[in-house]
Structures are given as structure tokens and as C-alpha cells.
Structure 1
Amino acid sequence: MFTGLVEEVGKMKGITKQGEAMKLVIGAAHVTVGVMLGDSISVNGVCLTVTSFDAASFSADVMPETYRKSNLHQLRAGERVNLERAMQAGGRFGGHIVQGHIDGTGTITRRETDANAVVYTVQLSDADMLRYVIPKGSITVDGISLTVVDTEANSFAVSIIPHTLGETALQHKHAGDTVNIECDVIGKYVDHLLHFKRPDSAKSQSKLTTSFLMENGFL
């Protein structure tokens, strides 16, 4: 699990593709401190497993599901990526619950300055994701924990302070670029429980309903 607070901006050193499988070699100085084989590191919001490492880089495999779901297949040698090690128990929880499981991608449609902030508007690749995008709620964009400031028909906007922009690879993103999106996991679980039906039985629906939540003070 991650928090969405980027620890370091790494640099792509090597990319090997075989069909929809990839091997990435990422240059990094901070996240490799104390790393062990099998550790999880978020790369642009995607949870990847360390398969080898040295003091200045680490390697990770990308399977076809991740290849198809995220924008990692668009990476090029020399490109900057956001990196975060898995959260330690007892550490500060400065962002929100981030799994590193990408829901889909988005395309930046606008980048505008608003006083000391930069506002990015992102169009979702799948409009159904918008059900989990809540104004003033949390969302992860390329591994960065951000707050949704506005939503439209199939897009949302986030406002970014100078520190966050300067310390992440998002500073290099402009209109037309894609980003990885992970919606707030709490909303996804609630939605699943409210609407769950067993695949083999249309009658087997969850007893957790909106009425139940209201009657018990949850809504």
C-alpha cells in the first residue's frame, strides 16, 4: 500500500518489450536505499515488484494486464517517472490509501495557471470511472495523491501547488499527455457491496443497501 506522496523522480534507463510484457530498468538513488528483492515500488502510480537492483537503479516486470490498463507501455528511455516505496507501518499517512492498482488512464486536456497553482483537467479513458471521482475527494494521478476540485461529464480537474509540481514528473506533462488514474478505493468497495450480485444468481444481491446505510446513520 502507498500514500500517494512521491519520494523521488526516477529516470527510465532501459525498456524491453516482448508483446505485451515489459521489463523496466529505472534509475533512482533514494528509493533503492534499503530495498530488497520482492519489495513493492510505485512507478507512476503502478505497484511493481523489484526483481533486481543496485545502488543506482532497480528492475521490474510489467505483465500484460498492467500493460493494457496503464500508460507504462508509452514510456521511453530517459523519461521521468514518479516513485514511491510501499508505506511502512507506523509512518506518517500524508496522502490517502493508494493501492497502486490502476483503474485506467486519462488524457490531459487543459493545463492552466491559477495564481500560485496549476490546474490540470483530465479526460477519463472510461467514463464509468467518474462514479468514483468526487469533488473534494481523493484521486491518484500518476501516483500522486491529489484532491478533485471539479468534475464534468467525463473529466475532472485537480489543482496542484508549486511544491508538488516541482517534486514530481507531472511538471513535464501537458495537454495531450496521458496519466494513470486510481480512484479512491473506499468508494469502490462501497459501490461493490451496494450493487454486488453473484454471477450465477441474479437474485443473490447484497443486503447492504442505501436504505440500510441511512437507517443506521451512515448517510
Structure 2
Amino acid sequence: MFTGIVEEIGTIEELEPARDAGGAVTDARVRVRGPLVVQDARPGDSIAVSGVCLTVTELPGDGTFVADVMPETLRRTALGDLAVGSPVNLERALAVGGRYGGHVVQGHVDGVGLIRARTPGPRWDEVEVEVPAELARYVAEKGSIAVSGVSLTVTHVSDDAFGVSLIPTTLAATTLGTLQPGSRVNLEVDALAKYTERLLTAAGVLR
């Protein structure tokens, strides 16, 4: 489990896609530079890469880690947009007894959103994100959402979008500081909303 509090901005060092006979990418092997998050990492540990929970498979010992990216991950996230040199948000899994500064983030991306608009403020930016129709019902004003692994508070909602405010720390310490309209972002809605809907539907309260 994660909290959506990014620890460092890493960099994609290598990206090796595997392709099928028709040339389509099926999966990938990625090597990410993240000196902080690999300090105490071991093979099998989980690290969130721009909101996507990946399992460490190798630790070369040079400040990087290697992970495999499965077809499901490529289909449901924006990791397929990355290239060598791309910056990514990195967070280690929450340690028992650690500070819980964000919200419950599983690293299981629900879908991909699109930066629709960005309005700079005196010290912060207002950003509007287009949300897939199947996820819109889980987004609530003043609720929590993870955008490319960053825990954010929703400032307003519409039928197909929501707004967030990016404070100076978020602008400086995450990749959200440089994303422009048209950029794709990984979205993970609040898990509590999904479980609540599931339980109420099973009980016949919702249809």
C-alpha cells in the first residue's frame, strides 16, 4: 500500500519492449533511476512508478532498479507513453508504523485521464483533468484521488472532469509541475468509494 506522497522524481534509464509477431508491444522491462527509493529495496519489493505498483526484479547497485511491466499494465496506464529520459514519480510501499500523510493508494491504476487545462496562480496551479466516464462517479468534491501517484484533494467536479490545486511543494517535487494540457496521467480513484458501491449493489441498495 502507498499514500500518494512522492519521495523523489526518478528517470527512465532503459525501456525494453517485447513485441509479438505482428510487431505490437506485449510487455516491457524497465530500469528506473531512483537513488532514494533503492536505498533499502530488495527484490520483490513494491515501488510505485507514477502511480503504478511495480515489483522490483533486479537491483544493479547503481541507484537503479529493474521491473517488468505486464500487458495489463500497458493497457490500463500511461506507462506506455514513457521513453528513456522520462521523469517519473517514485514512492516506496508504506512501512508499518510510517506516517500516513496522503490517502489509501494501492498502486492499481483505474484508468488514464487527460490534462484539459492548467491555470497558473500566484504560488500554485489550478489543473483540470478529464476523467473516463466509467470513473467519474467515484470522484467527489473534497475527496481524494491519485494522479500519476500523487495524492490530491479534488476541488471541483463536473460530468467528465475534476479540478485539483497544485501547491508549490507538489509543483517542485513531482512530475505534475511540468505536465501541460494534452498530457495523459494515471488515475486511481478512492478505493473506499469502489468498495462501498460494490457492497451497496450486492445488498440491493444500488442498481
Task: Give your verdict on TM over 0.5.
Answer: yes
TM-score, normalised to structure 1's length?
0.88
Residue from 20, 27, 46 that aligns with 2:26: 20
| 1:195 maps to 2:201 | yes
Residue from 43, 47, 53 that aligns with 1:41: 47
Q: Aligned partners of 2:68, 2:178: CA distance in 1, in Å? A: 25
Counterpart of 2:149, as a letter, is G
Q: Aligned partners of 2:26, 2:125: CA distance in 1, in Å? A: 34
Task: Spell out the pairing of 1:166-185 with structure 2 (5 A cutoff).
Answer: 166-185=172-191
Tell whether the 8 Å contact from 2:37 to 2:92 is kept in structure 1 after alignment.
yes
Task: Spell out the pairing of 1:1-219 with structure 2 (5 A cutoff).
Answer: 1-18=1-18, 19-53=25-59, 54-124=61-131, 126-196=132-202, 206=203, 209=205
Q: Aligned partners of 2:193, 2:62: CA distance in 1, in Å? A: 39
Offset, 1:175: 0.3
SS in 2 for 1:98: coil
Counterpart of 1:58, as a letter, is F
1:87-113 per-residue CA deviation (whole Å, 9 max, x = no partner) reads 011111000000000000001010102
Unaligned runs of 5+ in 2: 19-24
SS in 2 for 1:76: coil
Q: Aligned partners of 2:43, 2:32: CA distance in 1, in Å? A: 15
Tell whether the 8 Å contact from 2:155 to 2:165 is kept in structure 1 after alignment.
yes
Q: CA-atom RMSD, angstroms?
A: 1.1
Counterpart of 1:123, as a letter, is E
Offset, 1:7: 0.3
1:55-93 per-residue CA deviation (whole Å, 9 max, x = no partner) reads 410011111111100000110110100000000111110
Q: Aligned partners of 1:73, 1:20: CA distance in 2, in Å? A: 11
Tell whether the 8 Å contact from 1:118 to 1:160 is kept in structure 2 after alignment.
yes
Aligned residues: 199
> Where do 4+ consecutive residues of structure 1 move more than 4 Å?
none
Tell whether the 8 Å contact from 2:147 to 2:188 is kept in structure 1 after alignment.
yes
Q: Aligned partners of 1:20, 1:75: CA distance in 2, in Å? A: 15
Q: Aligned partners of 1:148, 1:31: CA distance in 2, in Å? A: 28
Q: Aligned partners of 2:117, 2:26: CA distance in 1, in Å? A: 30
TM-score, normalised to structure 2's length?
0.94
Unaligned runs of 5+ in 1: 197-205, 211-219
Offset, 1:195: 1.2
Offset, 1:117: 1.3
